[in-house]
Amino acid sequence: MKPHVPAAFAIPTFRRLAWTSILLLAVARVAADSARNPILWADVPDLAMIRVGDAYFMSSTTMHLSPGLPIMKSLDLVNWRIVGYAYDTLTDNDALTLQNGRNAYGAGSWASSLRHHDGTYYATTFSSTSGRTHIYRTQDIEHGPWTENSFRPALHDHSLFFDHDGRVYLVYGSGDVRLAELHPNLSGLKSDGPHPSIIRNASAVAGPNIGLPAEGSQLFRVNGKYYLFTITWPRGGMRTGLVHRSDRIEGPYEGRVALQHQGIAQGGLIDSPKGDWYAYLFRDFGAVGRIPYLVPVRWEDGWPVLGVEGRAPDTLDLPPNESLLPSVVASDEFHREAGQPALPLVWQWNHNPDSRFWSVTSRPGFLRLTTGRTDNGFLQARNTLTQRTFGPECAGEIALDVTHLKDGDFAGLGLLQKGFGLVGVRSSGAHRSIVMVHAESGAAVEAGQVPLTQDVVHLKAECDFRDRADTARFLYSLDGQTWLPIGSKLRMKYTLPHFMGYRFALFCYATQAPGGFAEFDYFRVTQPMTPQK
């Protein structure tokens, strides 16, 4: 027996199909005219955000990379561009200069705080590598310069807070949330501690079975009340956002779960000039890294209520997302006009660079990486130049002149993470080879080799992050037109020892004697994948 169909819906099949097409087109048009989550499909974790007038500014974590503590700007909360960094190098020790077997992978500087107060911008961070809390300040957030002061200890996941009575605090901690007061000029702490707990066991509102204690503090004052955002991670569950509120900064606080959906958490509140409210958060998304989301907020009985029926929506009533090219990632032909910076802001060095051994002026139109020492592998090599990969798919391509490689030198294009993959040219005696290497198991394994009899070669790395495929392949070309795969497909994996999404990496290192160099004619980043040959 056929179900009864109301008369209003009893229209001929072809008309139903026509109306269905119209509705689908309308939905597609709305989606095309609206912002979509994630707002940035790239590794931009531990967000901190402020609005000054009509402009939004955001800081993020880049840990062992230099320059660090990136600053981004947006006029619509959706489309962002890098405008600078709070520091060139965090500190100068063996870990950050990759010396004596040390490194700062997964360390460096962590979650930052960003504030604007009395005409000055403040970006703060903390570091287990330096053992200090770092405070950077500037009058011009887009152009700098930034000045720094730092002090011990390193206060974990802190939030800088200027209270309405003129006092200044850092709210920080893991499990228990603590309150430390700063001198008015932010030169250091008024007391070395122990600092009072304003919330004990902040994870408790998420239940008793907690794996990761509450952390990621960000404090706000709205309509006379204090709102503290943190995250926790129940065992067997997902990263979960929490919010506590109080009438006094010292407490007592009452708390609740703010959002528990797809692991989207850690961040805080931002309002628009029109009075709309959002929460800025991030989501762990496999090998590409931790990617930013915006979630609408409404206020109910003095509480911020995040999401739509407890969920982070796919679309937002904001301007549509534009390409990440060239605002967050970008191609580079390495041509520099007079007065231009040596490197665009999309580039960051893996650890602190040694400026003696890289140049964009020694051969105009080329990046030259010179070996200044010997190294035992890709992860320990200095002066490796990186920028983000991004989703859903992306490809990075280089043209490499290997004329001046010395015996034992290795140069090329990598995908940087603990389980890295790369394709490059290895010089061995009178011979050169194109080699693909991966470290899926933790140890470097050569998975493909092709003899090279010319001085210039084109190399490419392609990443597929669709549906968390998290795979990459490597290709080479002798003429820049015909591409051939080499080695095996890389199964990318986000690892805590590096704590970062995969990054494109231009490298050159020596294994026998320093002094050789490689010259990169260009780096080109695209979204389409190359058809298999």
pLDDT single digits (tens) 206-249: 999 999 999 999 999 999 999 999 999 999 999 999 999 999 99
Q: With a cut of 60, say whether residue 264 has pLDDT above it.
A: yes
- Structure token pair of residue 107: 């360390």
User: What is the three-class DSSP state of 114?
Assistant: strand
Side chain identity, residue 62: T
Residue 531 banded pLDDT, cuts 50, 70, 90 = low
User: Which CATH fold would you assign to the domain 348-526?
Assistant: Jelly Rolls (2.60.120)
Helix (H) and strand (E) counts in the chain? 1, 37
Residue 529 banded pLDDT, cuts 50, 70, 90 = low
Domain 36-316 matches domain 348-526 at the CATH topology level: no
Handedness of CA 203, 205, 207, 208 (dihedral sign): positive
Domain boundaries, the chain: 36-316, 348-526
**What does each C-alpha distance from 179 to 136, 249, 284 come to in angstroms?**
20, 9, 28
Residues facing 367 on adjacent strands = 520
Residue 528 banded pLDDT, cuts 50, 70, 90 = low
Q: With a cut of 90, say whether residue 27 has pLDDT above it.
A: no
Residue 25's H or E segment, with its range, is helix 13-32
In this prediction, residue 193 carries a pLDDT of: 85
- Superfamily the domain 36-316 falls into: Glycosyl hydrolase domain; family 43 (2.115.10.20)
Long-range contacts of 220-226 (CB under 8 A, 24+ apart): 220/268, 220/269, 221/161, 221/163, 221/164, 222/269, 222/304, 223/302, 225/302, 226/253
In this prediction, residue 24 carries a pLDDT of: 34
In this prediction, residue 527 carries a pLDDT of: 78
The set of residues, in sequence order, having a beta carbon less than 8 Å from that of 35 and lying 6+ positions away, is: 76, 77, 78, 294, 315, 316, 317, 318, 319, 320, 321
CA 63 vs. chain centroid, Å, equals 9
User: What is the three-class DSSP state of 96?
Assistant: coil
Does pTM surpass 0.75? yes
Higher pLDDT, 7 or 372: 372
% pLDDT > 70, the chain: 93
